[in-house]
Amino acid sequence: MSDDQPQRGDGDERNGGSGGDADSEPRSAGWLRLLGGLAVLVALFFLARAAGDRIPAFTAWVDGLGFWGPLAFLLGYAVATVALVPGSLLTLAAGALFGIWQGTVVVFLGASLGASLAFLISRYVARRPVERRLQKNEKVAAIDRAVEREGRKIVFLLRLTPAVPFTLLNYALGLTKVRFVDYLIACLGMIPGTLLYVYYGKVAGDLTTIAAQGGVERDWKSYALLAIGLVAAIAVTTVITRIARRALADAGAERLATAAEE
pLDDT in tens, 106-147: 999 999 999 999 999 888 877 766 666 655 656 556 656 667
Q: Which residue has the higher pLDDT, 175 or 248?
A: 175
Higher pLDDT, 180 or 206: 180
Average pLDDT for residues 3-30, to the nearest whole number?
48
Contact 164, 211 (CB under 8 A): no
DSSP H or E run through 126: helix 100-136
Does the pTM surpass 0.95? The reply is no
State how far the Cα of 42 lies from the Cα of 61, in Å rounded to an integer: 28
- Measured from the Cβ of residue 168, the count of other Cβ atoms closer than 10 Å reads 13
CA 116 – CA 240 distance, rounded (Å): 24
Q: In the prediction, which pLDDT does 23 show?
A: 47
How many other CB atoms sit within 10 Å of the CB of residue 215?
11
Q: What residues have CB less than 8 Å from 85, skipping those under 6 apart?
A: 47, 48, 51, 52, 167
Q: Which residues contact 197 (CB under 8 A, 6 or more apart)?
A: 88, 91, 92, 95, 107
- pLDDT of 219 strictly over 60: no
Task: Please check whether residue 150 is in contact with residue 179, taking contact to mean a CB–CB distance below 8 angstroms.
Answer: no
Does the pLDDT of residue 8 top 90, yes or no? no
Q: How far apart are CA 43 and CA 94, in angstroms?
A: 26
The number of beta carbons lying within 10 Å of the beta carbon of residue 107 is 29
> Binning pLDDT at 50, 70 and 90, where does residue 63 land?
confident
Pairwise pLDDT comparison (25 vs 179), residue with the higher score: 179
What's the CA gap between 179 and 149, in Å, rounded? Answer: 9
Q: Could you tell me which residue, 59 or 120, shows the higher pLDDT? A: 120
Q: Which amino acid is at 150?
A: E
CA distances for 144 relative to 159, 182, 244, 248, angstroms: 18, 15, 20, 15
Query: Please, is 88 exposed, middle or buried when counting C-beta atoms within 10 Å of its C-beta (0-12, 13-18, 19+)?
Result: middle
Tell me the mean pLDDT in the region 251-258: 50
| Alpha-carbon distances, residue 176 vs 19, 38, 86, 209, 217 (angstroms) | 29, 17, 23, 46, 56
The predicted pLDDT at position 83 comes to: 84
Most confident of 84-93, 98-107, 162-171: 98-107
Q: Which of 14-18, 99-103, 117-121, 183-187 has the lowest mean pLDDT?
A: 14-18
- Tell me if residue 216 falls in helix, strand or coil: coil
